[in-house]
Structure formats: structure tokens, C-alpha cells
Amino acid sequence: MKPVLELRNLSKQYKLGAHRVVAHDNFRELLVRTATAPFRPFIGRHQPPVKEQPYIFWALKDISFDIAQGDVIGIIGRNGAGKSTLLKILSRITSPTEGRVTMRGRLASLLEVGTGFHPELTGRENIFLNGAILGMRRSEIARHFDEIVAFAEVEKFLDTPVKHYSSGMYVRLAFAVAAHLDPEILIVDEVLAVGDVSFQKKCLGKMGEVSRGGRTVLFVSHNMAAIENLCSRGIVLNRGSLCFDGGAKQAIQYYLNSLSTVSGTGHIIELEGVGDRRSIVGRLLRRMEFFTDDEQPLNEGLAIGSQLKVRVHFDLPHLTSVFNVGLGFNNTYGQRIFTAHSLFEPNHWEKERSGRQIVSCEIPSFTLMPGEYTVKVWLDFKSTEADSIEDAAKIRVLESDFYGTGRVPWNGLLVLKHRWYLEQAANTG
Amino acid sequence: MSSFELTIGPRKGWQAFDFKEALLYRELLAFLIWRDIKIRYRQTLLGGLWAILQPLIGMLIFWFVFHRMAHVQSDGPPYTLFAYAGLAPWTFFATSVTLSSNSLLANQQLVSKVYFPRIFIPLGAIGALLVDLFFSLLLLAVLLLYYHWPITAAIGWLPVFTLGAVLAAAGSGFILSAMNVSFRDIKYAVPFMVQMGLFVTPVIYPASYLPKRLQILLSINPMAGVVVGFRHALLGSPASWSIMGSSLAISVFLFVSGLFIFRRMENRFADII
């Protein structure tokens, strides 16, 4: 049987800088250039303005693979690896610069929960509108209507405008509509990162149902557990190129290992050479260093509850006092568990400075549950991120006797010191 | 597995409008129109009454300023009727162009997150306004009764000129909304263009006010023929077939070129919006 999706040398190029900001997308310049075009040969000394060279960047480069019917594929990669671009091309939202895709079967994509929801419309109205936007026929929506409402648990609020919904209800309704799509190929982008945990479970259950039903599914997520659970095959993208294609488990392993390659050796992580970053005024972040109790370099892993000290080296290009540093800790599900930001520091620096700086962030007791966390680091000027690196480092938290009872903590995202008392019983014998 | 097969590749240059696909998605167009109707007057006190009030208030202002003070005459019927019959299609056109030219930006989320024929977005905005036009024509019927002004057989032409107005609005809407994605200047330019349009179109004054050599300007204005045509159909005002005919032809041309221009530019929408 022929594959349902055939991708051949798919590439997508974006030109940054040329659009929106300056250059030719300025209407005035376009008018001026059009109007002066016939006279340009005569105006020798008036050179056309020197334009900033557009920054050409390949979001996808030469991607080829086949997908057979019934494949459930997880697509993994860091932010900016090209996952979303790939899904957008397959969904026909944008077209590739080179290459082609042959598709056999009706495709529906869910790149965002609640696309096209209108706050002024009621739940009932939005179900129909959103369904139609996602490509369902009116009759299909009507047929699934009761199921959708039951799944979303919004029976009582069907005729209330969704602007009065809680964010949880909103997300539930939006996912419920999408979950009842009935295409041959389904594309899903990171939609499980929303909603509360119990609803996420419900969504995962629904996704599992869909994938077991012989449907072809492409699934992007930072939630490695979900990928491992749902997918049979995994594809890892890195900077627009396909770098791994195989079993889901192996793909996850490959991806997690690739994260540590940026981290350099031991507790010192050089950031200068990291290309995978968002920089506005150049590469300012230089280096990170990790320490645990007693200034011990953090090499192996951090025992739960012990101290974490992160030292960040960076450059300030000009004299300023309005700079801040942030550290974000994400779990393997891609969920932000904790953000440390220098703005939260009461004794904040006020003196203006420039040049190389070193700041340290001390977390006396790092109480996230055992597991792996990726660390995002960024530098703010005023309130804009001037330089930021997702997944700059990876730290491992190890089990330890946090409560001093010999019992290893289980279940939950973090541990907190707590006490239990037996109060005087009110009516004992 | 279905027999459905599709190839996605780079898209460049001019392409014809994909009617087959539009047909496939027709239900969505209906939904988008329905949505725009539903939300337009939500949380307003007067609701749908605004559809009637806009041309009505315009009529009273024009009657006072241009008829009473500046002594502009109609081409036969009472000036109020004359102004209203011109304002109804003009208001439709002006609002359509304003809303549709901004429609892609207003629906950014749809453009960057789902696929469907993008042309439905400006088209939906215009479709919803047809309902307003219908209501404002109902009020005109009331005014005709009030003035005891007879309806002639020319009323049969009304659908033709309504179509002319839709084509002109859609054509301009397609081009302006597509340009608005790259050049936000359009957002600021449209109100001026619409304002100017009111004066170069014989809405306030009869077409015969213009000297012969300027009449040619009317025939390249797609709305001039529509306004003259509406008055002919509704009030039995004298027809000017040269203006009406060439305006209609311009409307068709505008619509078709709008389809092509939109199709060419829509390719980049998701990347630059």
C-alpha cells in the first residue's frame, strides 16, 4: 500500500529582518521606489538606500520521510527546531519553499486549541463555528454534539457566551470539539500543555483512542511521557533537519541525549557558541556554572532539597541598571515548574554598569521532585528578553531522604517541608 | 483509504481561483457570515436597528446640509428619498470595504492556525453586511409608502445592481485586505478613500450635475453605476445606461482581478501576518 504521506526534500525558508521591521515592506518606500523607477538612471548620485541584508533562515531543510497508514508519530525537537513549520506545511497553512508532499487522505490539523472561538458567542454557537473551521460538516457536528458537550462537561453553560467561561471550561470545550474530528490523518501540536492535570489525562485518553482506531496521527509535544505512551514512531528535528527517525522510545532517548551536548563538560556550560537562541542585540549570555551545597561543582546530580547555585556570566553592551536575569526550570513534559528572576530580589542592583557581569542565583533548597529538568536562561533589558536560550542546560535531581524519615517522596511536582500533628480528639470514649 | 490525493509544493506566481475547493468549504463561508452577523451588534442597546439608523441619519444630515443649505436638487423624487436610495448601497459598499480590508488582520489567529480558503474571510464580512442592506431597503419601502412614491417595473433591476455593489466591494476588499497584511498603511488609508469616494460618487448629487466631460469619470467608478442604478430601480429616476453599464463592467473586472491578486498574495499571509 502506498504511504499516506510522502515528504520529499521539504524545505522552508524565512527571511527575517526584511519584513515588517524596515526594508521594503514599508509602503512609503514601495511607493517612492515605484514612482522614481523610470528616473533612476538620471539621478546618479541618489543611490537607493543601503538595505540591511535580510537574514535568511531555513526553518526546514531537506526533510524526507514516509508515513504509512495507522502510524502514530511523535515529532520531537527543541523550540525552533522546525516542528511547527513542518506541521504548518502539512496543514497547508504555509507552502514550502522547496520540495513537495503527497497526501492520500483527508487531513485535519489542530495547531491550537480553540482557534476561531469567539468570546461573544455562546458555547453552543462556538461548537458549530469551531467545528466548521476545523473542517467538519454541519451534519457531522450535529451528530457529535451531545458527545462534545458531555466530554467538555459544560452542559449548564451551553447558552452562556464563552467570555464568561473559566479558562478551564474554555479549554475543555475547545479540545472537545477538536477531539471529535474524524479525519484520516490528524495533526496535533502541543495542545495538551493546557488545562488541569485531570483534563490532560482525559485528553491523552482520547488521543490514545484515536490512535488505536487505525488513524494516522502526527503529534508534536514536549511531553515525553505522552509521546512514549501514544506513539509508535519518533522523529527528532534539530535546526530544521531530520536527525533521528525510529522507535518512539529511542527517539526520546536520542533527544534527551542531544540536549546534554550543548551543556559542555561538567558544571560549566559555555553559552557563547550556542546558536539556538533568540538574541536582539547579539550574543550576550556567556557562561553558566552550577554548584550545590558548600560551593561543590554540580556534576552528577543534585540531591533533592539541597542547595542550587547558578552563576551566569554575561555582557552588558552599554551602561545600564535595568537588566535582569531569569532562570526557568522545565520538566520533561515541557511544563515550567519554577521561574527564578532577579526582579524578585529585594536588594536589587541599582548601580549602572557595563561590560562583563557575573550574577549568582542561590536557591537554598531545591525541592523539585527527582527527575530531569531543562534550564532556560535569559537576560532582560527593561522588560524585553534581549538574549535567551531555551534548554541551555539540563540538571538532574536525585532522590534523597528529604523528610529525614528514610522515605523517598513520591507523586507530585515538588516536595515541601511539612509537619503532621495528632490533635486532641473531640469525643473519644 | 479514500481516493483523495493531494500534492503540496512551492507556490509561486499567478494562479486561477480554486472554485472546487471553495465549493468544498461552502458551509464554512455560511458559518463565517453567520458569525459576523451574530457578533456585530452584540452588546449594543439598539442592536440591528443600527443597520437602519446609519443610512437614515445620513439621509437627514445630507438633506439638511446639501438640500436645505446648499440647495442641491434631486433628479425627480423628494431629496430625502433620493439621498436614501443612494446612501443605502453606498453605506453597504463603504462598510464592506472598511470591514473586509481589515478582516484578515482581525482574524490573524485563523490565518496562522487553520487552513481554509482565506478569501472567505473578507467575503464573510461582506456577506454579513448584505443583511444590513436588506434591512435598510425595508426602511426605504416604508419611506416610499410615506411619500406615496410609486414603484416602477424597473425594480426588476435591483438584483443586478446589488450584485454590482457586492462585486465592487468584494474586489476592493480582496485587494485591500491582502495588501493590509504586509502594509498596515492600508488601515489608515481606507477611511480617507471611503470618504473621498462618497464625494466622487453621485450619492449626494445627481449624476447630471457633473459636466459632460467629467461624466467619463463616473463610468470608471464602479459605485457610480450602482448608485444611479439603485435610484433607477427603486425610485424610477432616469437611467444612464452608459454609466451603469460601464460601472458594472468595472465591478466585474475589479472582482476578477481581486480574486487573482488575493490568490497570489495569500501564499505569504501565514508567514508575515
Contact (CB<8Å) A133/B31: yes
Which residues of chain B make contact with A93, given a CB cutoff of 8 A? 111-115, 270
Looking at residue A48, the DSSP 8-state letter turns out to be P
For residue A39, what pLDDT is reported?
A: 62
- Please, is B178 exposed, middle or buried when counting C-beta atoms within 10 Å of its C-beta (0-12, 13-18, 19+)? buried
Q: What is the CA radius of gyration of chain A?
A: 26
Which residues of chain A make contact with B7, given a CB cutoff of 8 A? 100-103
User: Are A270 and A287 a contacting pair, CB within 8 Å?
Assistant: yes
Q: How far is B182 from chain A (nearest CA, A)?
A: 6
Whether B27 contacts chain A with CB within 8 A: yes
Residue of B219 and A192 predicted with greater confidence: B219
Mutation for testing the B interface, residue in A5, A57, A93, A160 having most B CBs under 10 Å: A93
Residue B110 one-letter amino acid? L
pLDDT, tens digit only, all 429 positions of chain A: 788 999 999 999 887 654 443 344 556 666 766 666 666 555 544 544 445 556 778 899 999 999 998 889 999 987 778 898 999 999 999 999 999 999 998 888 888 877 888 888 999 999 999 999 888 888 989 999 999 999 888 899 999 999 998 877 888 888 888 888 878 888 888 766 555 667 777 777 877 787 778 888 898 887 777 788 888 899 999 889 999 999 988 898 888 777 654 444 568 888 887 877 888 888 899 999 999 888 888 877 788 889 999 999 999 988 888 899 999 998 877 788 999 999 988 888 888 888 999 999 999 999 999 888 889 999 998 888 889 998 888 888 888 888 887 777 778 888 998 989 888 776 655
Contact (CB<8Å) A118/B5: no
Q: How far is B34 from chain A (nearest CA, A)?
A: 9
Contacts of A130 (CB under 8 A, 6+ apart): A114, A115, A116, A117, A174, A177, A178
Which residues of chain A make contact with B28, given a CB cutoff of 8 A? 132-133
Q: How far is B157 from chain A (nearest CA, A)?
A: 35
Looking at residue A322, the DSSP 8-state letter turns out to be -
Distance CA A58, CA A32 (A): 31
User: Are A216 and A67 a contacting pair, CB within 8 Å?
Assistant: yes
Contact (CB<8Å) B42/A104: no
Residue A103: closest C-alpha in chain B: B6
Which residues of chain A make contact with B116, given a CB cutoff of 8 A? 133, 135
Which residues of chain A make contact with B185, given a CB cutoff of 8 A? 27-28
- pLDDT tens string B49-97: 888 888 899 899 999 999 999 888 888 889 999 999 999 999 999 999 9
Write out the three cell numbers for A101: 508532499
Residue of B186 and A335 predicted with greater confidence: B186
Domain boundaries, chain B: 19-272
Provide the pLDDT confidence category of residue B250 given band limits of 50, 70 and 90. Answer: very high
Q: Select from B4, B39, B186 the Cβ nearest to the Cβ of A104.
A: B4
User: Are B204 and B62 a contacting pair, CB within 8 Å?
Assistant: yes
Q: How far is A95 from chain B (nearest CA, A)?
A: 6
Contact (CB<8Å) A103/B38: no
User: Are B116 and B270 a contacting pair, CB within 8 Å?
Assistant: no
Residue A100: closest C-alpha in chain B: B9
Whether B26 contacts chain A with CB within 8 A: no
Distance CA A173, CA B271 (A): 29
- pLDDT tens string B132-169: 999 999 999 999 999 999 988 899 999 999 999 999 99
